[in-house]
Amino acid sequence: MSILITNIKQLLQTRTRGIYKISGSEMKTLPYLENAYLLIEHDTIVEYGSMKNIGGIIAEKTIDATGKIVLPAWCDSHTHLVYAGHREQEFVDRINGLTYEDIANKGGGILNSAEILAQTSEDDLYEQSVKRLHEVMKMGTGAIEIKSGYGLTLESELKILRVIKRLKHDFNILVRPTFLAAHAVPKKYKNNKTAYVDELINTTIPEIAKAQLAKYIDVYCEDGYFSLEDTDRILEAGKAHNLVPKLHVNQFNAFGGVALGVKHNARSVDHLEVMRPEDVNVLQGSDTMPVALPACSFFLGLPYTPARTIIDSGLPLALASDYNPGTTPSGNMNFVVSTACIKMKMTPEEAINAATINGAYAMGAHKMFGSITRGKKANVIITEDIPNYSYLPYAFGNNSINTVIINGIIVE
Ligand code: NIG
Ligand code: FE
Protein backbone atom coordinates (compact mmCIF):
# COMPACT_ATOMS: atom_id res chain seq x y z
CA MET A 1 0.00 0.00 0.00
CA SER A 2 1.28 3.50 -0.82
CA ILE A 3 0.01 6.65 0.88
CA LEU A 4 0.56 10.20 -0.33
CA ILE A 5 -0.06 13.00 2.17
CA THR A 6 -0.51 16.33 0.39
CA ASN A 7 -0.83 20.04 1.28
CA ILE A 8 0.82 19.59 4.70
CA LYS A 9 0.91 22.96 6.42
CA GLN A 10 4.10 22.10 8.37
CA LEU A 11 6.05 18.85 7.95
CA LEU A 12 8.20 18.62 11.09
CA GLN A 13 11.50 16.97 11.89
CA THR A 14 12.69 16.57 8.30
CA ARG A 15 16.24 15.32 8.70
CA THR A 16 18.85 13.58 6.61
CA ARG A 17 20.35 10.32 7.79
CA GLY A 18 23.10 10.25 10.38
CA ILE A 19 21.51 12.45 13.05
CA TYR A 20 20.98 10.22 16.03
CA LYS A 21 20.40 12.57 18.92
CA ILE A 22 19.96 16.30 19.33
CA SER A 23 21.94 18.04 22.09
CA GLY A 24 22.14 21.41 23.82
CA SER A 25 21.31 24.47 21.75
CA GLU A 26 20.56 22.27 18.68
CA MET A 27 17.45 21.15 20.55
CA LYS A 28 15.99 24.60 19.88
CA THR A 29 15.95 23.89 16.15
CA LEU A 30 13.23 21.80 14.60
CA PRO A 31 13.58 21.66 10.83
CA TYR A 32 10.32 21.76 8.89
CA LEU A 33 8.90 22.31 5.43
CA GLU A 34 5.84 24.40 4.70
CA ASN A 35 3.23 23.33 2.14
CA ALA A 36 4.74 19.89 1.78
CA TYR A 37 3.97 16.34 0.72
CA LEU A 38 5.06 12.99 2.12
CA LEU A 39 5.08 9.69 0.24
CA ILE A 40 4.89 6.37 2.07
CA GLU A 41 5.39 2.99 0.41
CA HIS A 42 4.60 -0.09 2.48
CA ASP A 43 6.14 0.71 5.87
CA THR A 44 8.73 3.24 4.70
CA ILE A 45 9.06 6.98 4.07
CA VAL A 46 10.28 7.11 0.48
CA GLU A 47 10.01 10.79 -0.41
CA TYR A 48 8.96 14.18 0.87
CA GLY A 49 9.31 17.74 -0.33
CA SER A 50 7.60 20.95 -1.24
CA MET A 51 4.21 20.71 -2.99
CA LYS A 52 5.83 22.71 -5.79
CA ASN A 53 7.99 19.70 -6.60
CA ILE A 54 5.38 16.96 -6.24
CA GLY A 55 5.38 16.35 -10.01
CA GLY A 56 3.25 13.43 -11.12
CA ILE A 57 3.50 11.32 -7.94
CA ILE A 58 0.44 9.14 -7.40
CA ALA A 59 -0.35 6.61 -4.69
CA GLU A 60 -3.04 4.09 -3.86
CA LYS A 61 -4.35 6.40 -1.14
CA THR A 62 -4.11 10.18 -0.88
CA ILE A 63 -4.70 12.11 2.34
CA ASP A 64 -5.29 15.84 1.94
CA ALA A 65 -3.64 17.48 4.97
CA THR A 66 -4.67 21.07 4.21
CA GLY A 67 -4.44 23.05 7.48
CA LYS A 68 -2.76 20.14 9.27
CA ILE A 69 0.70 19.44 10.65
CA VAL A 70 2.59 16.19 10.18
CA LEU A 71 5.31 15.07 12.59
CA PRO A 72 7.05 11.82 13.51
CA ALA A 73 5.03 9.60 15.85
CA TRP A 74 6.16 9.79 19.49
CA CYS A 75 8.95 7.45 20.61
CA ASP A 76 8.15 6.50 24.22
CA SER A 77 11.35 5.00 25.64
CA HIS A 78 10.14 4.26 29.20
CA THR A 79 6.90 2.47 30.07
CA HIS A 80 5.69 -0.29 32.36
CA LEU A 81 2.43 -0.80 30.47
CA VAL A 82 2.19 -4.53 31.10
CA TYR A 83 0.74 -4.45 34.60
CA ALA A 84 -2.31 -5.89 36.31
CA GLY A 85 -5.09 -3.96 38.02
CA HIS A 86 -4.97 -0.39 39.24
CA ARG A 87 -4.03 1.57 42.35
CA GLU A 88 -6.49 4.42 42.66
CA GLN A 89 -6.86 3.75 46.42
CA GLU A 90 -3.23 4.79 46.89
CA PHE A 91 -3.98 7.88 44.83
CA VAL A 92 -6.78 8.76 47.24
CA ASP A 93 -4.52 7.95 50.23
CA ARG A 94 -1.97 10.42 48.89
CA ILE A 95 -4.63 13.09 48.48
CA ASN A 96 -5.47 12.48 52.12
CA GLY A 97 -1.88 13.07 53.22
CA LEU A 98 0.18 9.89 52.90
CA THR A 99 3.39 10.07 50.89
CA TYR A 100 4.50 7.65 48.16
CA GLU A 101 7.07 6.39 50.66
CA ASP A 102 4.48 5.89 53.45
CA ILE A 103 2.38 3.80 51.05
CA ALA A 104 5.34 1.67 49.96
CA ASN A 105 6.32 1.10 53.60
CA LYS A 106 2.78 -0.19 54.31
CA GLY A 107 3.21 -2.87 51.62
CA GLY A 108 1.46 -0.82 48.96
CA GLY A 109 3.13 0.47 45.82
CA ILE A 110 5.12 -1.93 43.70
CA LEU A 111 4.46 -4.86 46.09
CA ASN A 112 0.73 -4.27 45.73
CA SER A 113 0.98 -4.41 41.92
CA ALA A 114 3.16 -7.54 42.15
CA GLU A 115 0.54 -9.30 44.26
CA ILE A 116 -2.25 -8.45 41.82
CA LEU A 117 -0.08 -9.56 38.91
CA ALA A 118 0.70 -12.91 40.52
CA GLN A 119 -3.05 -13.59 40.73
CA THR A 120 -3.72 -12.53 37.13
CA SER A 121 -3.58 -15.10 34.34
CA GLU A 122 -1.24 -14.52 31.43
CA ASP A 123 -4.18 -14.14 29.05
CA ASP A 124 -5.88 -11.61 31.29
CA LEU A 125 -2.61 -9.66 31.65
CA TYR A 126 -2.31 -9.69 27.87
CA GLU A 127 -5.87 -8.38 27.41
CA GLN A 128 -5.36 -5.57 29.92
CA SER A 129 -2.12 -4.59 28.17
CA VAL A 130 -3.65 -4.75 24.68
CA LYS A 131 -6.09 -2.05 25.71
CA ARG A 132 -3.31 0.22 26.91
CA LEU A 133 -1.07 -0.33 23.92
CA HIS A 134 -3.89 0.37 21.48
CA GLU A 135 -4.83 3.49 23.45
CA VAL A 136 -1.30 4.95 23.30
CA MET A 137 -0.99 4.16 19.59
CA LYS A 138 -4.19 6.14 19.00
CA MET A 139 -2.56 9.00 20.92
CA GLY A 140 0.44 9.02 18.59
CA THR A 141 3.01 6.67 20.09
CA GLY A 142 4.72 4.84 17.23
CA ALA A 143 7.59 3.05 19.02
CA ILE A 144 7.65 1.98 22.64
CA GLU A 145 9.82 0.42 25.31
CA ILE A 146 8.01 -1.82 27.80
CA LYS A 147 9.55 -3.02 31.06
CA SER A 148 8.77 -6.01 33.20
CA GLY A 149 9.30 -5.45 36.93
CA TYR A 150 5.95 -6.08 38.60
CA GLY A 151 6.73 -9.80 38.84
CA LEU A 152 9.49 -9.92 41.47
CA THR A 153 9.80 -13.69 40.91
CA LEU A 154 11.32 -15.50 37.94
CA GLU A 155 7.96 -17.02 37.06
CA SER A 156 6.04 -13.73 37.10
CA GLU A 157 8.79 -11.80 35.33
CA LEU A 158 8.75 -14.40 32.55
CA LYS A 159 4.97 -14.04 32.40
CA ILE A 160 5.28 -10.28 31.82
CA LEU A 161 8.08 -10.66 29.27
CA ARG A 162 6.07 -13.28 27.35
CA VAL A 163 3.13 -10.86 27.25
CA ILE A 164 5.48 -8.15 25.91
CA LYS A 165 6.64 -10.61 23.24
CA ARG A 166 3.04 -11.36 22.31
CA LEU A 167 2.25 -7.65 22.00
CA LYS A 168 5.33 -7.26 19.83
CA HIS A 169 4.11 -10.05 17.59
CA ASP A 170 0.44 -9.03 17.44
CA PHE A 171 0.80 -5.26 17.04
CA ASN A 172 2.26 -3.34 14.16
CA ILE A 173 4.58 -1.25 16.36
CA LEU A 174 8.22 -1.41 17.47
CA VAL A 175 8.30 -2.79 21.02
CA ARG A 176 11.61 -2.82 22.91
CA PRO A 177 11.50 -5.24 25.86
CA THR A 178 13.36 -4.44 29.07
CA PHE A 179 13.86 -6.80 32.01
CA LEU A 180 13.40 -4.57 35.06
CA ALA A 181 15.40 -6.96 37.21
CA ALA A 182 15.32 -5.07 40.50
CA HIS A 183 12.20 -2.96 41.10
CA ALA A 184 11.47 -3.65 44.78
CA VAL A 185 12.55 -6.16 47.42
CA PRO A 186 9.81 -8.81 47.70
CA LYS A 187 8.24 -9.44 51.13
CA LYS A 188 9.94 -12.81 51.39
CA TYR A 189 13.34 -11.10 51.34
CA LYS A 190 12.36 -8.09 53.43
CA ASN A 191 15.25 -8.50 55.84
CA ASN A 192 17.64 -10.12 53.42
CA LYS A 193 18.01 -7.99 50.35
CA THR A 194 21.46 -9.42 49.57
CA ALA A 195 19.97 -12.88 49.17
CA TYR A 196 17.45 -11.46 46.72
CA VAL A 197 20.18 -9.74 44.69
CA ASP A 198 22.19 -13.00 44.77
CA GLU A 199 19.17 -14.86 43.42
CA LEU A 200 18.74 -12.28 40.66
CA ILE A 201 22.38 -12.67 39.67
CA ASN A 202 22.67 -16.43 39.97
CA THR A 203 19.28 -17.57 38.71
CA THR A 204 16.87 -14.95 37.40
CA ILE A 205 19.15 -13.02 35.03
CA PRO A 206 20.62 -16.15 33.39
CA GLU A 207 17.12 -17.64 32.95
CA ILE A 208 15.67 -14.45 31.48
CA ALA A 209 18.65 -14.15 29.13
CA LYS A 210 18.23 -17.77 28.09
CA ALA A 211 14.60 -17.12 27.19
CA GLN A 212 15.75 -14.24 24.93
CA LEU A 213 12.86 -12.07 25.96
CA ALA A 214 14.69 -8.81 26.76
CA LYS A 215 17.17 -6.45 25.15
CA TYR A 216 17.72 -4.17 28.13
CA ILE A 217 18.13 -4.58 31.88
CA ASP A 218 16.90 -2.01 34.38
CA VAL A 219 17.31 -1.38 38.13
CA TYR A 220 15.46 1.00 40.43
CA CYS A 221 18.52 2.57 42.06
CA GLU A 222 17.06 4.48 45.01
CA ASP A 223 17.27 4.71 48.82
CA GLY A 224 15.15 1.94 50.30
CA TYR A 225 15.25 -0.03 47.04
CA PHE A 226 18.60 -0.90 45.41
CA SER A 227 21.94 0.66 46.36
CA LEU A 228 24.86 1.56 44.10
CA GLU A 229 26.54 -1.69 45.07
CA ASP A 230 23.43 -3.78 44.29
CA THR A 231 22.98 -1.96 40.99
CA ASP A 232 26.62 -2.43 40.02
CA ARG A 233 26.45 -6.18 40.69
CA ILE A 234 23.18 -6.59 38.79
CA LEU A 235 24.42 -4.65 35.77
CA GLU A 236 27.65 -6.68 35.68
CA ALA A 237 25.59 -9.87 35.64
CA GLY A 238 23.36 -8.43 32.91
CA LYS A 239 26.37 -7.47 30.83
CA ALA A 240 27.63 -11.06 30.95
CA HIS A 241 24.36 -11.95 29.19
CA ASN A 242 24.43 -9.07 26.68
CA LEU A 243 21.67 -7.14 28.43
CA VAL A 244 22.24 -3.38 28.02
CA PRO A 245 21.46 -1.15 31.03
CA LYS A 246 18.67 1.45 31.19
CA LEU A 247 18.31 2.78 34.73
CA HIS A 248 15.84 4.39 37.14
CA VAL A 249 18.06 6.86 39.00
CA ASN A 250 17.86 10.13 41.00
CA GLN A 251 14.08 10.03 41.43
CA PHE A 252 14.14 11.03 45.09
CA ASN A 253 17.83 10.99 46.02
CA ALA A 254 21.13 11.63 44.23
CA PHE A 255 24.01 9.44 45.35
CA GLY A 256 25.97 8.46 42.25
CA GLY A 257 23.50 6.42 40.19
CA VAL A 258 24.06 8.56 37.11
CA ALA A 259 27.85 8.03 37.24
CA LEU A 260 27.27 4.31 37.68
CA GLY A 261 25.02 4.28 34.61
CA VAL A 262 27.67 6.09 32.58
CA LYS A 263 30.33 3.67 33.85
CA HIS A 264 28.22 0.79 32.51
CA ASN A 265 27.52 2.64 29.26
CA ALA A 266 23.79 2.64 29.99
CA ARG A 267 21.58 3.41 27.00
CA SER A 268 19.69 5.84 29.21
CA VAL A 269 19.36 7.12 32.76
CA ASP A 270 15.76 7.96 33.57
CA HIS A 271 13.86 10.11 36.14
CA LEU A 272 16.64 12.54 37.22
CA GLU A 273 14.29 14.70 39.28
CA VAL A 274 17.18 15.34 41.70
CA MET A 275 20.37 16.37 39.90
CA ARG A 276 23.62 17.58 41.45
CA PRO A 277 26.23 19.40 39.31
CA GLU A 278 28.38 16.25 39.26
CA ASP A 279 25.47 14.23 37.86
CA VAL A 280 25.19 16.63 34.93
CA ASN A 281 28.98 16.71 34.43
CA VAL A 282 29.42 12.97 34.33
CA LEU A 283 26.99 12.68 31.39
CA GLN A 284 29.10 15.01 29.22
CA GLY A 285 30.74 13.14 26.37
CA SER A 286 28.96 9.86 27.23
CA ASP A 287 26.63 7.84 25.01
CA THR A 288 24.01 7.71 27.78
CA MET A 289 20.75 9.58 27.15
CA PRO A 290 19.20 11.44 30.10
CA VAL A 291 15.42 10.88 30.14
CA ALA A 292 12.83 13.00 31.95
CA LEU A 293 9.40 11.67 32.96
CA PRO A 294 7.34 14.79 33.68
CA ALA A 295 3.97 13.02 33.89
CA CYS A 296 5.36 11.13 36.91
CA SER A 297 6.38 14.39 38.63
CA PHE A 298 2.96 15.81 37.80
CA PHE A 299 1.05 12.86 39.25
CA LEU A 300 3.13 12.66 42.45
CA GLY A 301 3.29 16.45 42.89
CA LEU A 302 7.07 16.22 43.08
CA PRO A 303 9.92 18.22 41.52
CA TYR A 304 10.52 18.04 37.78
CA THR A 305 13.76 17.06 36.10
CA PRO A 306 15.83 20.26 35.69
CA ALA A 307 15.62 20.25 31.90
CA ARG A 308 17.05 23.74 31.51
CA THR A 309 20.20 22.87 33.48
CA ILE A 310 20.65 19.67 31.49
CA ILE A 311 20.05 21.16 28.02
CA ASP A 312 21.87 24.43 28.72
CA SER A 313 24.94 22.42 29.73
CA GLY A 314 25.01 21.06 26.17
CA LEU A 315 23.51 17.64 26.88
CA PRO A 316 20.64 15.98 25.00
CA LEU A 317 17.39 15.14 26.80
CA ALA A 318 14.60 12.69 25.98
CA LEU A 319 11.01 12.67 27.24
CA ALA A 320 9.04 9.51 28.05
CA SER A 321 5.77 8.67 29.77
CA ASP A 322 6.72 6.15 32.53
CA TYR A 323 3.20 4.68 32.04
CA ASN A 324 2.65 2.55 35.19
CA PRO A 325 -0.11 1.99 37.78
CA GLY A 326 1.61 3.69 40.72
CA THR A 327 3.23 6.92 39.65
CA THR A 328 1.95 7.61 36.10
CA PRO A 329 -1.32 5.94 35.13
CA SER A 330 -1.20 7.56 31.68
CA GLY A 331 0.78 6.90 28.54
CA ASN A 332 -0.29 10.10 26.81
CA MET A 333 2.85 11.53 25.20
CA ASN A 334 0.95 14.66 24.14
CA PHE A 335 0.47 15.44 27.81
CA VAL A 336 4.16 14.68 28.47
CA VAL A 337 5.23 17.15 25.78
CA SER A 338 2.87 19.85 27.10
CA THR A 339 3.98 19.30 30.68
CA ALA A 340 7.65 19.52 29.65
CA CYS A 341 6.92 22.95 28.12
CA ILE A 342 4.73 24.19 30.96
CA LYS A 343 6.62 22.86 33.97
CA MET A 344 10.16 22.32 32.75
CA LYS A 345 10.40 25.40 30.54
CA MET A 346 11.34 23.41 27.47
CA THR A 347 10.49 25.15 24.22
CA PRO A 348 8.07 23.34 21.87
CA GLU A 349 11.04 22.59 19.58
CA GLU A 350 13.05 21.08 22.45
CA ALA A 351 10.10 19.04 23.70
CA ILE A 352 9.28 17.66 20.25
CA ASN A 353 12.94 16.75 19.63
CA ALA A 354 13.04 15.09 23.06
CA ALA A 355 9.90 13.01 22.41
CA THR A 356 10.85 11.89 18.90
CA ILE A 357 14.49 11.51 17.84
CA ASN A 358 15.99 11.55 21.35
CA GLY A 359 13.31 9.13 22.58
CA ALA A 360 14.20 6.82 19.72
CA TYR A 361 17.88 6.99 20.73
CA ALA A 362 16.99 6.18 24.35
CA MET A 363 15.68 2.81 23.18
CA GLY A 364 18.26 2.20 20.46
CA ALA A 365 15.74 2.80 17.67
CA HIS A 366 17.10 6.03 16.18
CA LYS A 367 18.25 4.49 12.92
CA MET A 368 14.68 3.75 11.82
CA PHE A 369 12.49 6.00 13.98
CA GLY A 370 12.12 9.53 15.33
CA SER A 371 12.39 11.73 12.24
CA ILE A 372 10.97 12.31 8.76
CA THR A 373 13.85 10.79 6.85
CA ARG A 374 13.88 8.88 3.57
CA GLY A 375 14.24 5.19 4.36
CA LYS A 376 12.99 5.45 7.94
CA LYS A 377 9.78 3.77 9.07
CA ALA A 378 6.57 5.56 8.09
CA ASN A 379 5.51 6.61 11.58
CA VAL A 380 3.62 9.86 11.53
CA ILE A 381 1.03 11.90 13.36
CA ILE A 382 -1.35 14.03 11.29
CA THR A 383 -2.88 16.70 13.50
CA GLU A 384 -6.29 18.34 13.30
CA ASP A 385 -6.40 21.80 11.69
CA ILE A 386 -4.14 23.81 14.02
CA PRO A 387 -2.32 27.08 13.42
CA ASN A 388 1.28 25.84 13.96
CA TYR A 389 3.26 23.25 15.91
CA SER A 390 3.50 25.32 19.11
CA TYR A 391 -0.27 24.94 19.34
CA LEU A 392 0.24 21.21 20.12
CA PRO A 393 1.79 21.63 23.59
CA TYR A 394 -0.13 24.88 24.14
CA ALA A 395 -3.56 23.25 23.85
CA PHE A 396 -2.74 20.87 26.72
CA GLY A 397 -5.28 18.18 27.44
CA ASN A 398 -6.95 18.67 24.06
CA ASN A 399 -6.77 15.98 21.44
CA SER A 400 -5.15 17.66 18.45
CA ILE A 401 -4.50 14.39 16.61
CA ASN A 402 -6.52 13.44 13.55
CA THR A 403 -4.68 10.37 12.20
CA VAL A 404 -1.78 8.20 13.30
CA ILE A 405 0.19 6.09 10.82
CA ILE A 406 2.51 3.43 12.24
CA ASN A 407 4.80 1.42 9.98
CA GLY A 408 2.74 2.61 7.02
CA ILE A 409 -0.63 1.53 8.45
CA ILE A 410 -3.35 3.86 9.72
CA VAL A 411 -4.20 3.13 13.36
CA GLU A 412 -7.92 2.42 13.62
O1 NIG B 1 9.19 4.47 37.25
N2 NIG B 1 10.17 4.19 40.29
C3 NIG B 1 9.95 3.01 40.10
N4 NIG B 1 9.04 2.49 39.32
C5 NIG B 1 7.97 3.15 38.72
C6 NIG B 1 6.77 3.24 39.58
C7 NIG B 1 6.55 2.13 40.51
C8 NIG B 1 5.18 2.02 41.11
O9 NIG B 1 4.84 2.75 42.05
O10 NIG B 1 4.44 1.13 40.64
C11 NIG B 1 8.40 4.49 38.18
O12 NIG B 1 7.98 5.57 38.61
FE1 FE C 1 9.62 3.78 35.48
Looking from the CA of residue 270, the nearest atom of ligand 1 is: 1
Residue 294 Cβ < 6 Å to ligand 1: no
- What single letter denotes the amino acid at residue 214? A
For residue 52, the model assigns a pLDDT of: 97
For residue 106, the model assigns a pLDDT of: 84
Residue 376 Cβ < 6 Å to ligand 1: no
Residue 299 Cβ < 6 Å to ligand 1: no
Residue 84 Cβ < 6 Å to ligand 1: no
Ligand nearest to the backbone CA of 78:
2
Rounded-to-integer distance, Cα 374 and Cα 47, Å: 6
* Closest CA relative to residue 389, chosen from 409, 367, 372: 372
- Positions of CATH 3.20.20.140 in the chain: 75-362
Is the distance from CB of 217 to CB of 178 less than 8 angstroms? yes
- What single letter denotes the amino acid at residue 207? E
Tell me, in angstroms, the distance from the centre of ligand 1 to residue 79's CA. Answer: 10
Does 328 belong to an annotated binding site?
no
Name the residue with the closest Cα to ligand 1, atom 12: 327
Q: Which CATH class is domain 2-72+368-410?
A: mainly beta
Ligand 1 pocket: which of 116, 219, 220, 336 to mutate (most atoms within 8 A of CB): 220
Residue 83 Cβ < 6 Å to ligand 1: no
Tell me, in angstroms, the distance from the centre of ligand 2 to residue 264's CA. Answer: 19
Residue 231 Cβ < 6 Å to ligand 1: no
Residue 104 Cβ < 6 Å to ligand 1: no
Provide the ipTM: 0.93
Rounded-to-integer distance, Cα 201 and Cα 197, Å: 6
Residue 324 Cβ < 6 Å to ligand 1: yes
Is the distance from CB of 337 to CB of 393 less than 8 angstroms? yes
Residue 321 Cβ < 6 Å to ligand 1: no
Rounded-to-integer distance, Cα 403 and Cα 397, Å: 17
Residue 112 Cβ < 6 Å to ligand 1: no
pTM, entire model: 0.98
CATH superfamily of 75-362: Metal-dependent hydrolases (3.20.20.140)
For residue 63, the model assigns a pLDDT of: 98
For residue 62, the model assigns a pLDDT of: 98
Ligand nearest to the backbone CA of 320:
2
Is the distance from CB of 184 to CB of 114 less than 8 angstroms? yes
For residue 17, the model assigns a pLDDT of: 87
Rounded-to-integer distance, Cα 305 and Cα 183, Å: 21
Does 183 belong to an annotated binding site?
yes
Tell me, in angstroms, the distance from the centre of ligand 2 to residue 217's CA. Answer: 12
- Positions of CATH 2.30.40.10 in the chain: 2-72+368-410
pLDDT per residue as tens, the chain (412 positions): 999 999 999 999 999 988 899 999 999 999 999 999 999 999 999 999 999 999 999 999 999 999 999 999 999 999 999 999 999 999 999 999 999 889 988 889 999 999 999 999 999 999 999 999 999 999 999 999 999 999 999 999 999 999 999 999 999 999 999 999 999 999 999 999 999 999 999 999 999 999 999 999 999 999 999 999 999 999 999 999 999 999 999 999 999 999 999 999 999 999 999 999 999 999 999 999 999 999 999 999 999 999 999 999 999 999 999 999 999 999 999 999 999 999 999 999 999 999 999 999 999 999 999 999 999 999 999 999 999 999 999 999 999 999 999 999 999 9
Tell me, in angstroms, the distance from the centre of ligand 1 to residue 392's CA. Answer: 28
Does 324 belong to an annotated binding site?
yes
For residue 107, the model assigns a pLDDT of: 81
Does 102 belong to an annotated binding site?
no
Question: Is residue 231 within a helix (H) or strand (E), and if so which, with residue range?
Answer: helix 228-240
Strands 216-221 and 174-182, by their bridges, are parallel
Does 78 belong to an annotated binding site?
yes
Burial label for 142, CB within 10 Å (0-12, 13-18, 19+), is: buried
Residues contacting residue 52 through CB under 8 Å, at least 6 positions apart: 35
Does 170 belong to an annotated binding site?
no
